Amino acid sequence: MFKSARANWRVIGAALASAVVGLFIGVSIMSGGADAPGESRSGGPRGPGDGARGSGERGQRPPAVTLVAVTKSTLDETLRAIGTGRALQSLTLTADVAGVIEQVAIKSGESVAAGAPLVVLDDDEQKIAVARARADYNIARTNASRFEGLVESEAASALENEAALNALTAATAALRQAEWELERRTIRAPFAGVVGLTELDVGDFLSVGATVTTIDDVSSILVDFVIPEGASSVVKEGFAIAAEAQAAGGREVKGVVRAIDSRVDPASRTRRVEAVLDNPDRSLIPGSTFSIALDARGREAFVVPGLAIQYDRAGAFVWRVGADGGAERVGIEILKRTADSVLVNADFRSGDRIVGEGADLVRSGVPLKSARAGDARFAAAGVAS
């Protein structure tokens, strides 16, 4: 009985083994006859070109970009600086002679003409000396005239006539010396201007070298300021400027550059500039601080859209359409930004096209074709061309 049971189990096991082997062979045949969906015959994922193009690789697909033509413009800049004003002419008057003050004609802030008397010293002694010298001069002139006539009539010798002429020359010099000493007793304005404060009073003794007052010619104001070394090629003599002075209520005044220093300061890399401002109403004050603005029309530059600019470790660049239609990198130097554009310095040629939008999708060498019909020509708003 047990032998019969074991024989039955052997038959059942052999039948199950045969069935499993047959199933395995059928599955293998089915998998070898057709590719599974989404897979290649090699067992990997099916590529977009598998089965459609056979052997070989498809070229790179052009990215969706907008191409624009670069344009030229003039780089207009406004240079700003802070300057200090000074008078066209400025002088501190001091006394050349000593004496007691008889008259003080100085009124602080008053405009005076050239030669106007400011301080008069006691001059009685000098007036006496002038009177004596004038009398001696008259005598010498009369004698010289008389001896000239006597020589013609041979009543006097040539030697006597020469002595009379020498006496007249000496008397003339003495009179001029006395008149000059008298004139020095009056201190006058050396040029037209505005006088400053003074501490002198009538009766004070004025010593030699003592300060009398200050006088400034404020018909124009000179302003000293500095410009960057790079602006030297733009700012020239006669260049127009605008200045605002806080001491004049912040109003704007016009002027021109009068002189530029002949050298660049090696420490600050700047150049000193001197400009002259009109001051017809005398409202500008020497020593005031001025805010200077210079509208500099500079070199030519290329205009590109702001979205066209990309950055990497080497710096800023744009993508240009190369001769073969592929993208090529062009390094740029950013000179100025406006609301709608950027002025750059780059190795562009006339007619060059660059990627204006979609530059982040571009890689070197990829074919470039505008996503719109025709190329757009970029015109920067507010930039002169």
Is residue 260 classed as helix, strand or coil in its secondary structure? strand
CATH number of 371's domain:
2.40.420.20
Domain that residue 19 falls in: 1-58
70 and 24 within one domain: no
Specify the pLDDT at position 256: 92
21 and 42 within one domain: yes
Residue 287, domain member (yes or no) = no
Specify the pLDDT at position 75: 67
pLDDT in tens, 192-248: 999 999 999 999 999 999 999 999 999 899 999 998 887 777 788 888 888 988 777
Residue 307, domain member (yes or no) = yes
| Of 287, 271, 385, nearest in space to 338 by CA | 385
Strand 99-104: give its sheet, edge to edge.
Answer: 186-188, 117-121, 99-104, 205-206
Residue 11, domain member (yes or no) = yes
Residue 48, domain member (yes or no) = yes
Q: Which tokens is 81 given?
A: 């600086």
Specify the pLDDT at position 278: 87
Longest dimension (CA), the chain: 202
361 and 311 within one domain: yes
Specify the pLDDT at position 8: 55
Please compute, for residue 328, the number of CA atoms within 13 A of its CA located in the half-sphere on the CB side: 11
pLDDT in tens, 8-48: 545 555 555 555 445 444 444 444 444 434 444 433 444 43
* 282 Ramachandran zone, left/alpha/beta (phi>0; psi -120 to 50): left
Parallel, antiparallel, or unpaired for β 66-69 and 353-357?
Answer: antiparallel
Specify the pLDDT at position 354: 93
The amino acid present at 166, given as its one-letter code, is N
Q: Which tokens is 267 given?
A: 């420490």
Specify the pLDDT at position 48: 39
CA gap 29, 34 in Å, rounded? 9
53 and 70 within one domain: no
Parallel, antiparallel, or unpaired for β 376-377 and 66-69?
Answer: parallel
Specify the pLDDT at position 337: 82
Residue 199, domain member (yes or no) = no
Specify the pLDDT at position 383: 42
Specify the pLDDT at position 53: 37
Which residues in the chain come in under a pLDDT of 70?
Answer: 1-60, 75-77, 149, 151-156, 296-299, 370-385
3 and 70 within one domain: no
pLDDT in tens, 52-66: 333 333 456 778 888
Specify the pLDDT at position 376: 47
| Of 381, 375, 374, 379, nearest in space to 352 by CA | 375
24 and 70 within one domain: no
The pTM score is 0.54
359 and 327 within one domain: yes
The amino acid present at 253, given as its one-letter code, is V
Specify the pLDDT at position 339: 76
Q: Tally the residues of the chain.
A: 385
- Contact at 8 Å (CB) between 343 and 383? yes
Number of domains into which the chain is organized: 2
Residue 221, domain member (yes or no) = no
